[in-house]
Every structure is written in C-alpha cells, then in structure tokens.
Amino acid sequence: MSGKVWLVGAGPGDAGLLTLKGKQVLEEADVVVYDALVGPGVLNLIPESAKLIFAGKRAGNHYLRQEETNRVLLEEAQKGRKVVRLKGGDPFLFGRGGEELELLAENGIPFEVVPGITSAIAVPAYNGIPVTHRDYCASVHIITGHRRADSSLDIDFEALVRTGGTLVFLMGVSTLPEICGGLLQAGMPADTPAAVLEKGTRADQRRIGATVSTLAAECERRQVRTPAIILVGAVCALAETFSWYERLPLAGVRVLLTRPRELSSRLAAMLRAEGAEVLELPAIRTIPLEDNAELVECLDKLSGGGYDWLVFTSPSGVRIFFRKLMERSDIRALGSVKVAAIGQGSEKALREFGVKADFLPSAYDGETLGRELRQRCKPGDKLLIPRAKIGNEALVDELRRDGTLSVTDLPTYDTVYASSPVIDEKAYLEAGEIDYAVFTSASTVKGFAAAVGETDYSRVRAVCIGKQTAAAAQALGMEVSIAEKATLASLAECLREAAKERKSQLKEERI
C-alpha cells in the first residue's frame, strides 16, 4: 500500500506564518524532506519520530539534485509513509513544486499541495511596504532573478517598465547589477525607489533602501547576503511611514527557550507577540518511569487516606501523577488530602484535573516551599512528593527539619538531556545569532551545555528563574539576569528590560 505526499509551503521564515493546515500535516508526518530556507521555528514543529531528509538548496550548493529529491519522495511514499516535502515560501512560486509532483503523478502516488505565504508579499509587509497601493501602482509582478549557469537573464525588462507596477525579484541577489542595469536601459527613471529586503520576517531582517540606479552599489557596500528579495517601485518610499515590526518591544531579538516543549508554548506566545523570534529548543525531556510499582503503592495508599499532603514541584509531576491516578481510579481518591504546588505552572496543571492548590509558597523555589509548608503542617502529617527521580534536596531537607513529619519522596519521571536533530545550537551561538537564552531550571542549563558542548559561554546572555538556575548559568560563565519572581510574566519582563538596556548600550556605542 502506497503512502501519500504533501507539498507544504513553510512561508518566509517566521513560524507564525505557517498555515494551520501546514502545521497539522507536518505534525503527522512520518518523513520530512526539507529545504535550507525553512525557518527554524517551523523545523521545531517536526515530530521527533519523523525521518529527516535534508534537500537544502542555495546558490551553487545543492545537497540533493532535483532529480534525487523527486526520487526520494517517490520511494518514501511507496513504503506506505506520510511524506511532507517542506519548502520555503510557496511550493508553486519558483519552488519547482510542479517538477516534484510529476514523478508522483506518473506512478499513481496520491498527493496534496498546501500553499504557503510567499516572501514576495510577506517580506515587504514586515518592512512596512505594501506591494500595491492605488495611489502608487496598479499591479505587482513577481520575477525570478535566478539564471542558469553560463546564461543571461531571460527577462523582458522593457515590458516590466511599461507596466508601471511594483516589481519583486526573487533569488536575484547575485544578479542585482544586471537587474538594475536592465531596468535602467529599458527606460526606468534612475530615481525610482528600490530596496533589498534581507532575511525578511526573521529577527535579523534588514532593509537596504536606495534607488534603482544606486541599489547595487549600496548592497555591495553593506554586504547583502541571501536570502533576500529585491523590490522596485514607488511603494518602497512608504517603508518609513508604515514600518511596524521595528516598533515592537522585542523586535530584532532572537530568544532561545530551553524548557520542555509541552511547557514552553505560553511563554513563546508572549514573546512572539512582542516581536521576538523564538526558537523552542528543549534542553531536557521528561520521561515517566516505567513499571513504577512504588507509584502504584502510593496511589493505593492515597485512596485509603494514607496522606495528608500532596506536594508538586513541576507541571510534569502533576500530569504524570494524575494520569496514572485516572487509570486506576478518579479524582475522588484524593479525599480530604491537601495539595501544595511550588508555583503557578504547577498550579495551572492542577486545574487541568479539576484540583485547586491549597498552598503556594511566597517564593517559588524548593527551599521556600519546604520551609513554609513545614510551618503549616500538623505534627505527624504524612506528605507525598511525586517528582523527578533526581530532585532538589532543599525541599525534603526543609520538611524533615520537623522530625514528626513523614515525607515520601516519590520518583515518577526521569529528566534527560535533549537536543535538536535539525538545528545546530552551537553554530547559532558562535555566530552571535542567539540574543538571549531563557532557563527555567538548573537542569535546562545543564541540558543546554550538553547539547552545545565546549564553547565560550560568556557569549550567552541568560535570563533565569530562581537562584539555583542562575547559579548553574553563572558556573558556565554566562551573563545572567534573574527574574524578580518565578513566573512566566516576570521572566518575560526580565527579558524585556535586558533587551531594552542592551539596545541602549548599542545605540551609545554607535554614537
């Protein structure tokens, strides 16, 4: 039985511009064949179980020839797999999508096309340039600036100039002098506004504005690199008036989130709403302990009223415990037991199961939780703490200071280090392309270090929750900022302040 191929447009880079259908298809894929221009935020959505095949193409550098890519799609589908061909932008706009479908159609392989947002429209929009405006133009034209080796551009420049419309050239950085020269020779006024838009929709996007007669020289002076698009037309003059991305609080900031994927979505959404480009690269994963006889024994004891307090130190601990509880019983098994949570994340996870925390500490760390909870307990109280196999000892040490309390420290999951199979964190770091790394526990710091390996960690600007997390980052030599409170809102505020201060410093240095 044959599988199926989905040709999915990944958009221009910003993960928020991937379509809903594209996201759904990608998350169900068995095999993903992806290009170099797919943004890292989109690559993060690929399921861990999927087979990855890199078919990256950049000017003069092809990992797979087009014929090989076509053959790979066919062979993987013939094995009965769900295959996603993930392409930057839109697969049918100079993406050679039609060529990739020909072999599938010849062999009777079912396929679908999921259109993507093209850089020809989105990148100008992120730079404040509407490609159409009735006061400036009546049409927009998208042209490939790419040429085959040892051949000239096959463009009718006179026809383009006669349209009077906005001209968008894709894949044209290497032929920019010829494009501008062709337009001038065809009669375009030398003072026509023009721009090159580099790395559009990404944190490091850049706009080089000029005229059609000066653009090539200006781009050479400022060392423009791909990916970039060329825009020619009167609408380019609107960029300063309509620019919006640069005005967002975290515009131009690339943030690395290291907490487990299932816990990072809320913080990622908060930061993206303020303009940050967010890379969700979990440094740790939580794995429930298999055949956990001790957990089963504790659940049975809980049902019989054997505990006075349940104490949770993470959302993962909450979810693993209650899912196991629901397999054997239901929420009534809690009876009159009181519930303590270390912070808002754990408290929110409890609400998912219809449970309200009876106690949260004044500061969200193990030592404070242990000290303040000990003061609330009655002599002889029995406490159950379902948490990581290797947990912070400060919580248990504080509780056991009261010799009358019975404390059961129950391992329910293991924490293991993780790294991305498609994104080279070390390369990003050493190229100076990570502005801030956010850490929510000492284990995320250690997991990040394990993924990156030996490097100069003084280049990492770390935003941390809590003293222990900060201490782990400082031990590696990172520059550390600590959130005032152990909440996501406080963490986001800490990042905003750090970014604001850094922008001010860079501005002073330029002056």
Active site residues: 35, 57
For 124-192, strand residue ranges (E) read 140-144, 166-170
Cα-based distances in Å from 139 to 166, 180, 233, 444: 6, 19, 11, 51
Strand order across the beta sheet in which 479-482 lies: 277-280, 254-257, 436-439, 461-464, 479-482
In 10 A of CB 102, how many CB atoms? 10
Q: Identify the H or E element spanning 279.
A: strand 277-280
Residues ≥6 apart with Cβ < 8 Å to 456: 430, 477
Contact 41, 277 (CB under 8 A): yes
**Strands 193-198 vs 228-232: parallel, antiparallel or unpaired:** antiparallel
CB 213 within 8 A of CB 191: yes
Strand partners, 57: 62
Sheet holding 284-288, edge to edge: 284-288, 406-417, 382-388, 309-312, 338-341
Q: What gap in Å lies between CA 138 and CA 422, rounded to an integer? A: 42
Strand partners, 194: 210, 232
